[in-house]
Structure 1
Amino acid sequence: MRKGHALTDLPTVPRSLIDAGDFDLSGNIAYLLVRAKNTLSQYVEQGASHMGLTHAQACCLMMLANGHSTTPTELSRRLDIDAGAVTRLVDRMERRGLITRSRGEADRRMVHLTLTDEGHAIVQRLPSVFIDVTHRGFAGFSPEEIAMFRQMLIRVVANGGVAD
């Protein structure tokens, strides 16, 4: 449970939408979201594979490029992976010459991540991968449906206490 968000503090879903007597995992919203996330992640893997990147590496590079995350701790939070996994991810990307690590001047415990020139060059090619994934994953959706779905997902994330 996230700090400051007790389950009792969250708005509830009407019981009629989640009746245990009619429960079917294959139609459960949480299950479908996980399946959709996995499908979209696979699409990113396929699209970024020619650059030798995984989904996590592609997201990491984009977050660094956009200034959304500049430390391993921020990446861990944003990618929703543990610190050990972030360390391994950063190690691989640093060995490839895509990012560099540096210690903070004011606080040597703080690690800052920066894209290298090669990292910047790859970042220039990544938006097309994510755009293709959106087109593939949301084929048949109207722009209005996609915008509404995005807003709903933002609310789901906010209900979990995760700020973006």
Structure 2
Amino acid sequence: MTSHSPADLFDPTDYQIGKSVGYLLARAKNMLSLGVEQEVSGLDMTHAQAICLMMLAEGEATTVTDLARALNTDAGSVTRLLSRMEKRGLIARTRRDDDRRVVDLSITPEGDALVEKLPVALCNVMRRGFDGFSQQEIDVLCGMLQRIITNTCPAGEAGCPQDRNSE
């Protein structure tokens, strides 16, 4: 298998937006997100709320800063999202005694009840989106996406994989 440099693989003279891997990744992400939005609307929540709850439940995030970084958005947007979730009784926010600037997040029993339903909703979307794919194809795609994340993650940024091009 011949390895090419990115300069060889991405020639601006041949660029077509509709065939661009970046465009196709974004379009696929948007279609899956729309599917999640529709699926979780029956639980009276949004895609962003569902992702926040899942990340909190799995320990992937514990603070506003963690969520903002993971969702690739600003802390203000996350704070507004969390305010709506807190009003609904899904999460609780607690300021740390040792550093009042840090707000720790936890899931309430009401939030836990929704977390139990989310994997079914999210898997329903994945089943539709990946209809006709083999497990091997999904594993290869996940590996490639992880490599893109690793390659584009700023060195030393929290939440970024440490070993470039591993897997």
Same fold (TM over 0.5): yes
Verify: 1:72 aligned to 2:64, yes or no: yes
Question: Which residue does the alignment assign to 1:62?
Answer: 54
Distance of 2:121 and 2:149 partners within structure 1: 24
Over 4 Å off, 4+ runs: none
Matched, 1:13 2:27: no
Out of 3, 9, 27, the position equivalent to 1:35 is 27
Question: One-letter code of the match for 2:6?
Answer: V
Q: SS in structure 2 opposite 1:53? A: coil
Deviation at residue 105 of structure 1 after TM alignment: 1.9
User: Are 1:151 and 2:143 an aligned pair?
Assistant: yes
Compare relative contact order (CA 8 Å, sep 6+) and give the higher one, 1 or 2: 1
Give the letter aligned to residue 140 of structure 2.
M
User: Could you say which residue in structure 2 is the equivalent of 1:81?
Assistant: 73
TM-score calculated relative to the size of structure 2: 0.88
User: For 2:45 and 2:138, how far apart are their aligned partners in 1?
Assistant: 27
Shift of 1:14: 4.5
TM-score, normalised with respect to structure 1 = 0.89
Offset at residue 130 of structure 1 (A): 1.2
For residue 160 of structure 2, the aligned residue among 152, 160, 163 is 163
Name 1:119's counterpart in structure 2: 111
CA distance in 2, matches of 1:57, 1:149: 26
SS of 1:39's partner is helix
